[in-house]
């Protein structure tokens, strides 16, 4: 029993060769994505470490010194600048030399010794409000600890018991690595297919297909199979690397392979559509970028989908990456919950059918 006819198999082989023949292309398909996975998984962190802070101590009393010591010893703090004039604080913030500045008022130690509530002003660089907010909450915690030391019971800290499922220490890397595997596999499969038809049209070899007995369906299948194989292999390689170096993999490998193939297929469909529309490779690459960039932004990688306006959330339902991120995160951390996999697999299947169908129609119209 043969899955494909000899003619189709020959075409698939030819497409495979046209991608992998160039040794530089072979290297660039596999090497850089793995390096990127490594670099970006370390770089993409929302935890704040090694932050430069300024302390403007107008008090000079014992508690102010204690607070300064506690802050300097805190794990999120890098370089500490001690300032004595408000202008120094202003220019340090303006020039981005510090993320935040802590102003200790004159009455700080006196208030604390007298049992009154002492206040503390924290000035944060609003250009970096993202990490500034995180660092600010760390400062709050340092201050609360000191306060509790000075006036023992302090506010109740036993009110809430918090447990984080799937990722008890909220390691951000556990979120980034699976997501990056999806994003990088998407880029590769998209790029490989976006170029395929456009290159034939640019070089004129597409015209040869006109006089050959090939059908549009065969052309699409022949261009889909190599991209599917390369994309899925790359995606699973990254999952493997991720699970060795960074994140525990708790889910089901066969389920992930199957859904990964659906995900790659839906991107291949988009890539082929772009490729059939564009007359040159340059247009096709730009088209692929024009699709990929908004896709990443709306996929829930940068920020949660729920934060977006309703209309954009509906559009996001059609984005394969959005669904695959849920699946791949589930496969790493949640033991591949079946209903979540199913709920996100069928939208991808739908996109795959729609885009591959549209690509076939586009190729047919180009052939006639």
Partner 1 sequence: MSAEPAPGAQAAAPSGSRRRRLLALVRKESLQVVRDPASLIIAFVLPVVLLFLFAYAVSLDIQKVRIGLVLEGDGASAHSLAAAFSGTRYFAVTPARDRREVEEALVTGTLKGYVVIPQDFERRLNSGGTLGSPVQVVTDGSQPNTASFVASYAQGVIQYWLAASGGGLAASTGKRTVPAIEVRPRFWFNPEIESRRFLVPGAIAIVMTMIGTLLTALVLAREWERGTMEAILSTPARIGEILVGKLLPYFVLGLVATLLSAALAVYVFGVPLRGSWLTLLLLSATFLMPALGQGLVISAIAKNQFIASQLALITGFLPAFLLSGFLFEIDSMPAPIRAFTYIVPARHFIAALQTVFLVGDVWSVMLPNMAKMLALGAVFFVIARLKTRKSLDV
Q: Which residues between 280 and 309 bind partner 1 (CB under 8 A)?
A: 280-283, 285-287, 289-290, 293-294, 297-298, 302-304, 306-309
Max CA distance (Å), the chain: 95
Identified binder of partner 1 from the candidate list 72, 73, 217, 312, rule CB under 8 A: 312
Q: How far is the CB of 179 from partner 1 (least distance, A)?
A: 10
Question: Residues of 194-219 as b/e, b for ≥16 C-beta within 10 angstroms?
Answer: bbbbbbbbbeeebeebeeeebbbebb
Is residue 111 within 8 A of residue 88, CB to CB? The reply is: no
Q: Which of residues 126-145 bind partner 1 (CB under 8 A)?
A: 126-133, 136-137, 139-140, 143-144
Q: How far is the CB of 364 from partner 1 (least distance, A)?
A: 24
**Does 81 contact partner 1 by CB under 8 A?**
no
**Does 72 contact partner 1 by CB under 8 A?**
no
**Does 191 contact partner 1 by CB under 8 A?**
yes
Residues in contact with 165: Cβ distance below 8 Å, sequence separation at least 6, in sequence order: none
**Does 187 contact partner 1 by CB under 8 A?**
yes
Q: Which is nearer to partner 1, 119 or 208 (CB)?
A: 119
Q: Which of residues 325-354 bind partner 1 (CB under 8 A)?
A: 326, 329-330, 333-334, 337, 339-340, 343
**Does 65 contact partner 1 by CB under 8 A?**
no
- Cα separation, 275 vs 28, whole angstroms: 21
Q: Which is nearer to partner 1, 117 or 211 (CB)?
A: 117
**Does 233 contact partner 1 by CB under 8 A?**
no
Q: How far is the CB of 107 from partner 1 (least distance, A)?
A: 12
Identified binder of partner 1 from the candidate list 160, 213, 310, 368, rule CB under 8 A: 160
> How many Cα atoms within 13 Å fall on the side-chain side of residue 4?
14
Q: Which is nearer to partner 1, 131 or 355 (CB)?
A: 131
Burial of residue 363 (CB within 10 Å: 0-12, 13-18, 19+) is buried
Residues in contact with 306: Cβ distance below 8 Å, sequence separation at least 6, in sequence order: 313
**Does 171 contact partner 1 by CB under 8 A?**
yes
How many residues bind partner 1 (CB under 8 A)? The answer is: 111
Q: For residue 195, which of 263, 283, 266 has the smallest C-alpha distance?
A: 283
Q: Is 79 helix (H, G, I), strand (E, B) or coil?
A: strand
Give the angle subtended at the CA of 293 by the CAs of 287 and 299, to the nearest 5°.
130
Q: In what order do the strands lie in the sheet with 51-57?
A: 77-83, 51-57, 100-104
Q: How far is the CB of 250 from partner 1 (least distance, A)?
A: 11
Q: Is 280 helix (H, G, I), strand (E, B) or coil?
A: coil
Q: Which of residues 39-58 bind partner 1 (CB under 8 A)?
A: 39-40, 42-52
Q: Which is nearer to partner 1, 91 or 212 (CB)?
A: 91
Identified binder of partner 1 from the candidate list 158, 204, 244, 368, rule CB under 8 A: 158
- State how far the alpha carbon of 319 is from the alpha carbons of 228, 327, 343, 348, in Å: 18, 13, 14, 8
Tokens of 239: 């999952």
**Does 32 contact partner 1 by CB under 8 A?**
yes
Q: Which is nearer to partner 1, 217 or 312 (CB)?
A: 312
């Amino acid at each position: 029993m043969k899955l494909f006819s000899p003619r189709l198999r020959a075409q698939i082989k030819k497409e495979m060769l046209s991608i992998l023949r160039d040794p530089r292309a072979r290297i660039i398909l596999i090497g850089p994505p793995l390096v990127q996975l490594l670099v970006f998984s370390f770089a993409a962190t929302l935890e704040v470490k090694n932050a430069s802070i300024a302390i403007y101590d107008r008090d000079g009393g014992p508690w102010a010194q204690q607070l300064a010591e506690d802050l300097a010893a805190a794990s999120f703090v890098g370089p500490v600048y001690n300032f004595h004039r408000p202008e120094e604080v202003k220019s340090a913030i303006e020039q981005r030399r510090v993320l935040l500045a802590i102003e200790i008022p004159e009455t700080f130690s006196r208030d604390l010794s007298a049992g009154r509530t002492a206040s503390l002003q924290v000035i944060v660089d609003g250009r970096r409000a993202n990490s500034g907010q995180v660092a600010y909450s760390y400062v709050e915690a340092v201050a609360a600890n000191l306060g509790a030391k000075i006036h023992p019971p302090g506010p109740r800290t036993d009110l809430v018991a918090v447990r984080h499922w799937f990722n008890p220490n909220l390691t951000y890397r556990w979120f980034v690595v699976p997501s990056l595997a999806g994003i990088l596999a998407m880029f590769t499969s998209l790029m490989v297919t976006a170029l395929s038809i456009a290159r034939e049209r640019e070089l004129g070899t597409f015209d040869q297909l006109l006089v050959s007995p090939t059908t549009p369906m065969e052309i699409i299948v022949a261009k889909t199979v190599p991209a599917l194989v390369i994309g899925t292999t790359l995606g699973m390689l990254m999952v493997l690397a991720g699970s060795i170096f960074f994140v525990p993999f708790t889910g089901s490998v066969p389920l992930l392979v199957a859904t990964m193939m659906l995900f790659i297929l839906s991107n291949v469909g988009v890539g082929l559509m772009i490729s059939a529309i564009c007359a040159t490779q340059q247009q096709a690459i730009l088209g692929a970028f024009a699709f990929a960039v908004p896709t990443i932004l709306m996929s829930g990688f940068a920020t949660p989908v729920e934060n977006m306006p309703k209309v954009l959330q509906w559009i996001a339902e059609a984005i394969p990456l959005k669904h695959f991120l849920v699946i791949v995160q589930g496969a790493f951390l949640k033991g591949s919950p079946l209903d979540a996999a199913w709920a996100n697999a069928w939208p991808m299947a739908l996109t795959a059918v729609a885009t591959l169908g549209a690509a076939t129609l586009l190729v047919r119209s180009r052939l006639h």
